Chain A
C-alpha cells in the first residue's frame, strides 16, 4: 500500500468555542473526524507544539517555559517528524519562528514573515512542491496571532482595565479575524483536493491554544493561566475513505501523534520516553466511550506570576470538573464546569474527598513528569 502523506495545519490561537463561526472549517468537518472537546497540554504555542509532536507533556520533554526553548530532551524524546523520517518520508515545517518545533527529524524548517507574507500562497506552494513524494508537512497559520499582538499584545498590559472592561468589544474584534482564517482553510483544502492529495493524505486542521477576550484579569492573551478559554482546542482529522463524525468526548492534544502513527501502522519506539497520549482510533470506532483525563500546564512571561524557568500553573480537567494548582502563590482552585463554565466560583475545599482525589491525581502527574519538582 502506498504511504499516506501527513499534513498538519496549525491554526494558531483559534478558540474551540469559535469554530462555529468558520463555515468552511465546519463544512470540511462533515467529511472527517472532528474532536470538538480537546484540551491542550499547554496554552501557548512553544510548549504546545513540542508536546503535540512528541506526545509528551511539557515537563517531560523539557520545553516547559518560554526560556526553556532550547532545552528539548532530544536524546530521550522522539518526534513525529523523526518517526516519519525513519520511514522514508520527506519532512518539512513552515513556522513563524523556527524554534517553535524541535528540529529532530525534519529535513527542512523554514520561517515566514507574519506581517508581510501571503500565507495562503506560501503554503499552497509548499504543498504543490511536495505532491509527488511521501511527505510530512507542518504548516503554521498565524493570522490570529498577528492580530492579537497588534490589537492586544502591544496595546495593553495584563492588568489594563481598558481591556478587561470591554469583553464584548474584545470578542467582536477577535471574531472579526476569523473570516480570513476560514478562507485560508478553504483555499488550502481546495488546493489539496485539486492536486489529488485527499485520497492519499491524512490532513489535520487543529489549534494549539485559545486566546483571551478579557475573561480574567491578569491574562490579556494566553500563557498565564489554564482556564478553558485558552486550554480548549479542537482537532479535525481527514483521511481517505472516512466518513464525517463529531467526537465530543474529552481528548488531549497529546493524543494526535499516536493517532497518526496508529493510522500509518508505525509502532511506538520503546527505546525513547514512552508516549503519554493514546490513539484516538478506539474513540472513533466506538470501542472506547469515555472522556479522557486531561492535564495542562503553563508559566507566564508576564501576568500575576511570571515564571521564566519552569511551569508554575497546572490543572487537571475532567468533563465536569477542573482543579488548578498555582504553584507560585501556592493556591488551589476548583470549578464545577457544568454549572460554572466561566470558572468564576472557586469551590476548592481541602476537606472535600473529591477535591483531595483530584489533588492527588494532579500532584502525582506533575511529579511523574518532573521528579525534581518541589512542592
Chain B
C-alpha cells in the first residue's frame, strides 16, 4: 500500500509483466522501484531538454552564479 507521500497509478498488466522481467534482469528488488527509477529518469531528461532548449544558463541564473562565485572570492 502507498504511504502518505505516494499515490497509486494503474498500468496495463502486460506492460507490468514486461517491466517486471526487465527489473529482474537489472537486479532491482521490486517492480515499483524499477518503474519509479524509469519515471525519475524521464522527468529529469525532460527538464534537462527544456533547459537546453531555452539556453544552457539563463541570464538570471548566470547573475546568481556570479554572485555566489564573488562570495567565494573567485570573481572580482
Contacts and interface: CB of A to CB of B under 8 A. Distances in A.
A75 B43 contact: yes
Interface in B46-63: 47-48, 51, 56-57, 61-62
A67 interface: yes
B73 A154 contact: yes
A342 interface: no
A146 B71 CA distance: 11
Contacts of B41: 76
Given A73-B44, A76-B41, A271-B37, A67 B62 contact: yes
Interface string A55-87: 000000000001101110101100000000000
Contact of A270 (B37, B44, B71): B37
Contacts of A75: 40, 43-44, 47
A153 interface: yes
B72 A97 contact: yes
A296 B43 CA distance: 28
Contacts of A153: 73-74
Nearest to B66: A67
Given A70-B64, A75-B43, A309-B56, A271 B36 contact: yes
Contacts of B43: 75
Given A66-B65, A75-B47, A272 B73 contact: no
Interface residues of A, number: 22
A106 B74 CA distance: 26
A149 interface: yes
Contacts of A66: 65, 69, 74
Interface string B9-36: 0000000000000000000110011101
Interface residues of B, number: 26
Contact of B71 (A67, A70, A96, A301): A96
Given A69-B68, A71-B51, A96-B72, 6 more contacts: A66-B74, A67-B65, A97-B68, A99-B68, A145-B73, A309-B56
29 contacts: A66-B69, A66-B74, A67-B62, A67-B65, A69-B65, A69-B68, A70-B61, A70-B64, A71-B51, A73-B48, A75-B40, A75-B43, A75-B44, A76-B41, A76-B44, A96-B71, A97-B71, A145-B73, A146-B73, A269-B33, A270-B28, A270-B29, A270-B33, A270-B34, A271-B32, A271-B36, A271-B40, A272-B37, A309-B56
Contacts of A272: 37, 40
Contact of A271 (B33, B62, B71): B33
A153 B71 CA distance: 13
Nearest to B64: A70
B9 to A, nearest CB: 14
Interface in A128-186: 145-146, 149, 153-154
A271 B48 CA distance: 19
Contacts of A301: 69, 74
A198 B63 CA distance: 43
A301 B72 CA distance: 12
Contact of A309 (B44, B57, B74): B57
A185 to B, nearest CB: 23
A76 B41 CA distance: 6
A97 B73 CA distance: 11
A247 to B, nearest CB: 29
A309 B56 CA distance: 8
B43 to A, nearest CB: 5
Contact of B65 (A70, A73, A270): A70
Nearest to B27: A270
A149 B44 contact: no
B3 to A, nearest CB: 10
